[in-house]
Chain A
Amino acid sequence: MAEIEVRGLRKAFDGTEVLKGVDLTIENGEFISLVGPSGCGKSTLLRVIAGLEPQSSGEIRIDGISADGVRSSARNLAMVFQSYALYPHLSVFDNIAVPLRMKRLSALARLPILGRLMPGRQRTERGIRAEVERVADQLEISPLLKRKPGQLSGGQRQRVAVGRAIVRQPRAFLFDEPLSNLDAKLRVHMRAEIAQLHRQLKTTFIYVTHDQAEAMTMSGRIAVMIGGELIQVGTPSAIYEDPRDIRVAEFIGTPKINAFPGRIRGDGRLEVLGHVLHAATPAPAGECRVCVRPERIDLTGSGVFSGTVVHLENLGSEAFVHVASEGMSAPVVARVNDPSLLPTIGASVGYGFVPDAVRAFDGDGKRIATEIASRVERPRGMAVV
């Protein structure tokens, strides 16, 4: 159980700044996911928190106490690596027992043969055995305790790695993309298991992933990191519904959010592809981006935009229609909930969206507030543009 505070953290490798001033407070017992594109510095942040890498400046505080200069093992955090990092020459039992042996046995008692003669070693060893067996039971890997990591499947190795982390009862767990080496099905299964584990242990979890589905489904809060900076931290629904930055909007959600080139008119109304929307903003006039999620694009209504269907993705339960429109560099993606109503490729369709669905961003990519423009200008009140 620990509260972890990251203050003004910077980290540079050979002059290139990888972390550019990260501030983050992770509450006690929280499950927070760190997401971002590859190479944005997620692992680096995790490694600095773990004490495996010294920071260039800034501070890490664990439970209010500065962790600077504290060895990684003394921080009492556990880390689960993407590659599992099990000791290949040790059995599953010994792999899980290593952190306990390192903590409870003296250097002398750990010696291969001589150690057996040390007083008290037998008793400590019995305690360790009991705890390893309890953890193995919890993770359902008891039948595997005698095997070597090389004789396990990916999912089993994953469990052993988690077992090695739980057994030491750390103050917080750090996961670095623990599921990315598993196949899609197992990944979904392990996702539920890790979430369950968090509910059980009620310990702080920091979970790094570049898979936003993992982040959305498991965590209490998500921290989106791009280019070495934390752009936004919030609950999954806040991140999804209320992105503060266009990069967050584009990173979270599959398929990607649709970004229309837009303009803020002198009277504050938004204009997209020559159509004035029923949305207004207090922001000054100029260029902007108007973003709409695929599920908010309406193909059935009397939308004012039109285009040609260029691609269909039918997933069975839902389908995505890609519509190329004039003035747009990428096709607009719309979700259709009933795949039996799909248009054909090449058909021309009309589409639109309600003003409520609009997320607008200024030239720098920062979010600008929008509100539904007064209805007076449109007597019939149809919100569809």
Chain B
Amino acid sequence: MTTRIHTYLWPATRHILLLAGALVMLTPFIWMLSTASKPQTEIFSSELHLIPHHFALWDNLRTAFAKANLWRYLLNGLIVTISIFGLQVLVALPAAYALAKLRFLGRDVLFALVVFCILIPPQATAIPVFLLLHKLGVLDTYAALVLPFTISVFGIFLMRQFFKTVPDDLIDAARMDGISEFGIVWRVMLPTAIPAVTAFGIFSVVAHWNDYFWPLIVLNSEHLQTPPLAVAQFRNNEAGTNYGPLMAAAIVIIAPLVVAFLFAQRRFIEGITLTGIK
């Protein structure tokens, strides 16, 4: 009898604990959804309630889109994150291939430097990079948002670790077939590394879509602002104390990430595995 209770007790406790954890993580998100769906009067009412009495999400969205150029900010976010990710891949893949598969003097030292660079927080280099961009005269442009992130040591590290697992024979076969070294990177390594590239893409896009620090430093013009900056601006200038439209705007800005993640999750799983090689 006791063992019977025991077998139910532990899974139950486990699930309750996990649910509690999930609730803590989700509460701000749920609250955002709730607030975005409430009319102004309910937001400031003294009693707390989750479900709005009067559903006002569409009104709030309409107000948000009317008050600020949300499409423009979303487009900015898209341009910046896609450019950063594209350039990162362009740099990281050849570098990772060289570090993983080519034999040359100083390779291990270079790789140690790459690992070391991962430890440096971006804030530490912010001022020199800012000055550099100033000298180049590209402050307050897309270039200022993109250029500092084109070399991702994390990306190089991640791809290098993945490329290590690709058998040497595959590369030798490609060489015998007449594919050049760069050709090997793009036509052989990239397709086999799709799961790793996807994983890296998720990290990169999420980090730069949500980045608040760097755009705040290098941007002045309103028309270049990225989504997080725009939402913040929203609060200060446009919406004032009107939290309904502010939260609606926040939803709009999060939505692309959520959709992209759901899409990428499938890619993760179905990604090309290396079964064909062995």
The answer to whether A and B belong to the same complex is yes
Interface membership of A192, Cβ < 8 A: no
Report the bound CA distance from A81 to B176 in whole Å.
11
Residues of chain A with a CB closer than 8 A to B277's CB: 83-86, 88, 149
- Interface residues in A35-80 (C-beta closer than 8 Å to B): 47, 50, 52, 71-74, 77-79
Interface membership of B278, Cβ < 8 A: yes
Report the bound CA distance from A74 to B178 in whole Å.
8
B272 touches A89 (CB 8 A): yes
Interface membership of A121, Cβ < 8 A: no
Interface membership of B175, Cβ < 8 A: yes
A87 touches B169 (CB 8 A): no
Interface membership of B137, Cβ < 8 A: no
Interface membership of B172, Cβ < 8 A: yes
B173 touches A81 (CB 8 A): yes
Residues of chain B with a CB closer than 8 A to A253's CB: none
Given contacts A83-B277, A84-B277, A150-B273, A77 and B176 within 8 Å (CB-CB)? yes
Interface membership of B270, Cβ < 8 A: no
Given contacts A83-B167, A148-B276, A88 and B192 within 8 Å (CB-CB)? yes
Interface membership of B47, Cβ < 8 A: no
Interface membership of B216, Cβ < 8 A: no
- Interface residues in A63-122 (C-beta closer than 8 Å to B): 71-74, 77-79, 81-90, 98-99, 102-103
A72 touches B175 (CB 8 A): yes
CB distance from A131 to the nearest CB of B (A): 15
Report the bound CA distance from A88 to B271 in whole Å.
11
Interface membership of B110, Cβ < 8 A: no
For A160, the closest partner residue in chain B by CB is B276
Given contacts A103-B178, A148-B276, A87 and B170 within 8 Å (CB-CB)? yes
Report the bound CA distance from A78 to B178 in whole Å.
11
B-side interface mostly: helix
Report, as a range, how many residues of chain A touch the other chain: 20 to 34
Residues of chain B with a CB closer than 8 A to A98's CB: 177, 179
Residues of chain B with a CB closer than 8 A to A152's CB: 276
A85 touches B170 (CB 8 A): yes
Residues of chain B with a CB closer than 8 A to A83's CB: 167, 169-170, 277-278
A150 touches B177 (CB 8 A): no
B275 touches A79 (CB 8 A): no
Residues of chain B with a CB closer than 8 A to A99's CB: 176-178
Given contacts A148-B276, A149-B276, A150-B276, A87 and B176 within 8 Å (CB-CB)? no
A52 touches B176 (CB 8 A): yes
Report the bound CA distance from A81 to B277 in whole Å.
10
For B273, the closest partner residue in chain A by CB is A150
Interface membership of B274, Cβ < 8 A: yes
Interface membership of B191, Cβ < 8 A: yes
Report the bound CA distance from A188 to B272 in whole Å.
32
Interface membership of B188, Cβ < 8 A: yes
Residues of chain B with a CB closer than 8 A to A73's CB: 175-179
Given contacts A83-B169, A87-B188, A102 and B275 within 8 Å (CB-CB)? no
Report, as a range, how many residues of chain B touch the other chain: 20 to 34
Residues of chain B with a CB closer than 8 A to A74's CB: 178
For B193, the closest partner residue in chain A by CB is A89
Among B172, B179, B192, contact of A79 (Cβ-Cβ < 8 Å) = B172
For A87, the closest partner residue in chain B by CB is B188
Report the bound CA distance from A153 to B174 in whole Å.
22
Residues of chain B with a CB closer than 8 A to A52's CB: 172, 175-176
Residues of chain B with a CB closer than 8 A to A50's CB: 172, 176
Residues of chain B with a CB closer than 8 A to A77's CB: 176
Name the residue in B188, B275, B277 with the highest tally of chain A Cβ atoms < 10 Å from its Cβ: B277
Residues of chain B with a CB closer than 8 A to A88's CB: 191-192, 272-277
Residues of chain B with a CB closer than 8 A to A90's CB: 191
Among A81, A86, A102, contact of B172 (Cβ-Cβ < 8 Å) = A81
For A13, the closest partner residue in chain B by CB is B103
- Interface residues in A239-291 (C-beta closer than 8 Å to B): none
For B166, the closest partner residue in chain A by CB is A88
CB distance from B73 to the nearest CB of A (A): 32
- Interface residues in A113-172 (C-beta closer than 8 Å to B): 148-150, 152, 157, 164
Residues of chain B with a CB closer than 8 A to A71's CB: 175
B278 touches A102 (CB 8 A): no
B169 touches A82 (CB 8 A): yes
B178 touches A81 (CB 8 A): no
B176 touches A72 (CB 8 A): yes
Residues of chain A with a CB closer than 8 A to B173's CB: 79, 81, 85-87, 164
Name the residue in A78, A84, A103, A157 with the highest tally of chain B Cβ atoms < 10 Å from its Cβ: A84
Report the bound CA distance from A81 to B173 in whole Å.
8
Given contacts A81-B169, A81-B172, A102 and B276 within 8 Å (CB-CB)? no
A102 touches B192 (CB 8 A): no
CB distance from A341 to the nearest CB of B (A): 46
Given contacts A85-B167, A85-B170, A89-B191, A78 and B176 within 8 Å (CB-CB)? yes
Name the residue in A47, A82, A86 with the highest tally of chain B Cβ atoms < 10 Å from its Cβ: A86
A86 touches B276 (CB 8 A): yes
Name the residue in A73, A74, A87, A98 with the highest tally of chain B Cβ atoms < 10 Å from its Cβ: A87
Report the bound CA distance from A77 to B277 in whole Å.
21
Report the bound CA distance from A74 to B173 in whole Å.
13
- Cβ contacts A to B, 22 pairs, < 8 Å: A52-B172, A73-B175, A73-B177, A74-B178, A78-B176, A81-B172, A83-B167, A85-B172, A87-B173, A87-B188, A87-B191, A88-B191, A88-B275, A88-B276, A89-B192, A99-B176, A102-B177, A102-B178, A148-B276, A149-B275, A149-B276, A149-B277
Known: A72-B175, A81-B173, A88-B275. 11 other contacts (CB 8 A): A50-B172, A50-B176, A84-B277, A86-B276, A87-B170, A88-B191, A88-B273, A102-B177, A149-B276, A152-B276, A157-B276
User: 7 closest A-B pairs (Cβ-Cβ)?
Assistant: A149-B276, A88-B276, A73-B178, A89-B191, A102-B178, A85-B173, A85-B169
Instruction: Please list the residues of chain A having a beta carbon within 8 angstroms of any beta carbon in chain B.
Output: 47, 50, 52, 71-74, 77-79, 81-90, 98-99, 102-103, 148-150, 152, 157, 164
